[in-house]
Chains A and B, each alone.
Chain A
Amino acid sequence: MGKFLLNKPGEKLILLGNEAIVRGALEAGVQFVSTYPGTPASEIGNTFSQIAKDAGVYFEFSTNEKVALEAGAGASFSGQRVLVAMKDFGLNVASDFLIPLCYSGVKGGMVILVADDPSCWSSAQSEQNTRAFAYLAHIPILEPSTPQECKDFIKLGFELSEKFEIPILIRTTTRVSHQSAPVVLDKIIKRNKKAEFVKNPRKFSTMPPRVLEMKQELLDKIEKIREFSEKSSLNQIARGQTSGRLGIITSGVSYLYVKEAMEELNINLPVLKLGFFHPLPEKKIQKFIKNLKKVLVVEELEPFLEKEIKILAKDTNPCLPAGRQNLQISGKSHLSQIGELRPEQVISAVSKFSGKKTNFDFARHRQEFSNLKITKRYPQFCPGCPYWFVFPTLRRIVPKDTIFGGEIGCYMLAVYPPHRLQDYLYCMGSSVGIAHGIKKSTKQKLITFVGDSSFFHASIPALINAVFNKSSPLIIILDNRTTAMTGHQPNPGVGKTGMGDTAPEIKIEDIVRACGVKNLKVVDQQNVKEFEETVKDFLEKEEVSVIIARHPCKFVK
């Protein structure tokens, strides 16, 4: 792991996008890093966890993303440079705080790294497009395409954040975060400025009527950043040759597929690559589209760019005299809103757009491929996983019509064969709340699952709610002593911090008891008989009951 701390400017290293983000933060003199693990962002926290002490950086795995963001904000208010990292769903959790934070702004530079997962390679629940937060929170959003850009954009993010006193969001996707490529190193900077919180309630207290002034200040900041965006090399126009006055606008990993497609088709169209999603360099876009007849917007998921550009085009390319065609802007008529883009899709789209034929018959190839009979291989619990003792046992002993509730963690794999045992499954913390609603509505038997890390993350308010409102679900907390799915990060139950220091071990049973749960038992599910009897007994109870099934993940040392 020493490679991240090398201080040899000019040296080239092969880095994963996420590793380049770590390096970029170090080169920007980051002092405080917080995160909650989530793939495709997990390696950022994992790497800091390993190097924080040597790098002289404070690092923590927070209990959830909202807390991570709040902690980061506190450090920034005290003048520190802060990186907060999370996956897309994490920003939903953090959004309650994110929105007012953008109003007040920050002091020390603050970059929020959010990794989206188009195609849901490592995500249940939904396929999210974090760009939408530009509209909700007015937060500036930058989108790198490569590991080198990950590093460069992070550094610029810190500069912008400090200059305009606003958090900057860097949005990656799986194919950026988990892409590796050579990255040129620059110098690591150590900032030793003493941290101090200087009182300034006018800046940090979001109360009306001041809060509406803050909103105006935020909108003003965005316009200033837009001026920067207009001149920034992050938004670059590559001149090309086109007889038909065609042009392509793209960003993020899609840009790489556009370049690939032009190579494949042996054409060189003008391309506008946008490093800023928000605020968009409107003048630059208008200049680019002004003399074009047809523009193809290549972007993943929802057509946010396409819509923005269509609006801008109305002013730039008004109705032309009769006989001349208006500017045509297309995007999602060629490319899906669902799933990540792949090079062959962009090749086909650019081929259709430009009228240049491909050398390879993709349609025929796909037809032949779809004729192959391929058995789906689902992810599984690892050999030796303690969860193998939970689901088959439950299947065997509980009434057939028992409802099983799930959420996010390794135990969600029980949705796949051979278990097929999750009747509902949503975000972290949701399983207990939903269970309560079902139990209040029906007399059906119900067992709902929570993991140890997700218990701390978001389940405690739901548990309190269930007790407070006299509900009766059976909650099984699967305590495998780690945050396993994302790479075995510590959580508040394991007595170790993200920097490897010992910490108070917060006992789940103490919290459950303090929430007023009377039926509580801690068992090791590998004692099958005891586990079985407890489940049978608790399933008949008319109050909330909790079983903590505790057995460490086989990878816990």
Chain B
Amino acid sequence: MNKNFNIVIVGTGGQGLITLNKILAVAATKEGFDVKTSELHGLSQRGGSVETHIRFGKKIFSPLVKEGGADLVISLESQEAFRACYYGSNEKTIFLINDYIIPILTGDKKTELSSSANEIKKFSKEILLIPATKVVEKEFQNPVLAGIYLLGVAVSKKLIPLKIETVVKAIKEVVSPKYLNLNQKAFELARYQ
């Protein structure tokens, strides 16, 4: 890998972004890369829009991905993918989007992804829409696993330049023993779909 790799994960507070961030950071370190991440805690975690950044490569300075600088956007909720367009560019960015909407409590009209995916195209090289929440709810009755499932998709489709074995090891290190088995299962499920 010659260039640094930049990932932005977006979603809403409580969807487990920080854990995904940590798994990727640990995996990248295991493969000998320099790594930096940025995350937000507190007020912004309370069900509002959240984003985390992970960058790895030979030498990383900024913890934040620059505007238009994402190689991969993982969106755990489909409306949040629009917000992530800030980091997207049609030259390189791949959008991996959970086909799942968490309604916004404003009374405003909600945006349907299917009718607006065209707008994301301007900011992306490729869009992958995956029914992650639907799958993990059916298999495990647990929507929080959508994140690890999407990570499984990203790694097995080689959207992230990290080896599957390393990510598997990182999951084991990062996820608490209580939830490890479920997370491993959700990750595996994504690999073989």
**B62, A257: Cβ atoms closer than 8 Å:** yes
Judged by a CB distance under 8 angstroms, whether B68 is at the interface is yes
Residue of A nearest to B91 (CB): A360
Complex contacts, B35 vs chain A, CB 8 Å: 14, 180-182
Judged by a CB distance under 8 angstroms, whether B108 is at the interface is yes
- Complex-state Cα separation, A405 to B26, whole angstroms: 45
Given the contacts A182-B34, A375-B111, A413 and B122 also touching, CB distance less than 8 Å: no
Given the contacts A14-B29, A369-B85, A122 and B40 also touching, CB distance less than 8 Å: yes
CB contact list, B35-91 vs A, under 8 A: 35-49, 60-69, 79-80, 82-83, 85-86, 89
**A366, B44: Cβ atoms closer than 8 Å:** no
Complex contacts, B85 vs chain A, CB 8 Å: 369, 372
B20 to chain A, nearest CB (A): 13
Complex contacts, B45 vs chain A, CB 8 Å: 379
Judged by a CB distance under 8 angstroms, whether B157 is at the interface is no
Judged by a CB distance under 8 angstroms, whether B98 is at the interface is no
Stretch at the interface among B99-107, B128-136, B148-156: B99-107
Residue of A nearest to B119 (CB): A372
**A181, B36: Cβ atoms closer than 8 Å:** yes
**B34, A375: Cβ atoms closer than 8 Å:** no
- Complex-state Cα separation, A163 to B35, whole angstroms: 35
**A181, B66: Cβ atoms closer than 8 Å:** no
**A180, B25: Cβ atoms closer than 8 Å:** yes
**A366, B63: Cβ atoms closer than 8 Å:** no
Q: How large is the interface on B (under 10, 10 to 19, 20 to 34, 35 or more residues)?
A: 35 or more
Judged by a CB distance under 8 angstroms, whether B124 is at the interface is no
- Complex-state Cα separation, A253 to B34, whole angstroms: 17
Given the contacts A42-B41, A179-B37, A382-B47, A377 and B68 also touching, CB distance less than 8 Å: no
**A413, B36: Cβ atoms closer than 8 Å:** no
**B37, A180: Cβ atoms closer than 8 Å:** yes
Partner of A378, one of B25, B26, B48: B48
Judged by a CB distance under 8 angstroms, whether A537 is at the interface is no
Judged by a CB distance under 8 angstroms, whether A339 is at the interface is no
Residue of B nearest to A264 (CB): B66
Judged by a CB distance under 8 angstroms, whether B147 is at the interface is no
Judged by a CB distance under 8 angstroms, whether B169 is at the interface is no
**A121, B43: Cβ atoms closer than 8 Å:** yes
Complex contacts, B36 vs chain A, CB 8 Å: 146, 179-181
Partner of B43, one of A39, A181, A376, A381: A39
Judged by a CB distance under 8 angstroms, whether A320 is at the interface is no
Judged by a CB distance under 8 angstroms, whether B110 is at the interface is yes
Complex contacts, A372 vs chain B, CB 8 Å: 82, 85, 119
Complex contacts, B123 vs chain A, CB 8 Å: 368-369
**B66, A342: Cβ atoms closer than 8 Å:** yes
Complex contacts, B15 vs chain A, CB 8 Å: none
CB-based A-B contact count at 8 angstroms = 157
Judged by a CB distance under 8 angstroms, whether A234 is at the interface is no
**A256, B61: Cβ atoms closer than 8 Å:** yes
Judged by a CB distance under 8 angstroms, whether A525 is at the interface is no
Partner of A343, one of B12, B22, B66: B66
- Complex-state Cα separation, A146 to B63, whole angstroms: 9
CB contact list, A1-59 vs B, under 8 A: 12, 14, 16, 39-40, 42-43
**From B13, B14, B61, B108, residue with most partner A Cβ within 10 Å:** B61
What per-residue 1/0 map shows which CB atoms of A356-399 lie under 8 Å from chain B?
A: 00001010011011001111111111100000000000000000
- Complex-state Cα separation, A14 to B79, whole angstroms: 31
**B122, A368: Cβ atoms closer than 8 Å:** yes
Residue of B nearest to A117 (CB): B42
- Complex-state Cα separation, A382 to B45, whole angstroms: 10
**A381, B66: Cβ atoms closer than 8 Å:** no
**From B45, B79, B107, residue with most partner A Cβ within 10 Å:** B45
Judged by a CB distance under 8 angstroms, whether A223 is at the interface is no
Given the contacts A181-B37, A378-B48, A379-B46, A342 and B64 also touching, CB distance less than 8 Å: yes
Residue of A nearest to B66 (CB): A343
CB contact list, B5-43 vs A, under 8 A: 12-14, 21-22, 25-26, 29, 34-43
- Complex-state Cα separation, A12 to B35, whole angstroms: 12
CB contact list, A464-515 vs B, under 8 A: 485-487
- Complex-state Cα separation, A380 to B106, whole angstroms: 11
B143 to chain A, nearest CB (A): 12
- Complex-state Cα separation, A328 to B63, whole angstroms: 30
Residue of A nearest to B79 (CB): A375
Given the contacts A260-B61, A347-B66, A377-B48, A40 and B104 also touching, CB distance less than 8 Å: no
Partner of A379, one of B34, B44, B82, B111: B44
Q: Can you name 26 A-B pairs with beta carbons within 8 Å?
A: A14-B25, A121-B42, A178-B39, A179-B36, A180-B39, A180-B63, A264-B66, A343-B62, A343-B64, A344-B66, A365-B67, A365-B68, A365-B89, A373-B111, A375-B79, A376-B106, A377-B49, A379-B13, A381-B47, A382-B14, A382-B47, A413-B46, A418-B105, A485-B43, A485-B46, A487-B41
Q: What would 8 more interface pairs be, CB under 8 Å, given A368-B123, A382-B46?
A: A14-B35, A39-B41, A178-B40, A181-B63, A344-B67, A369-B123, A372-B85, A486-B42
User: Across chains A and B, which 3 residue pairs bring their CB atoms closest together, nearest first?
Assistant: A39-B42, A122-B42, A379-B48
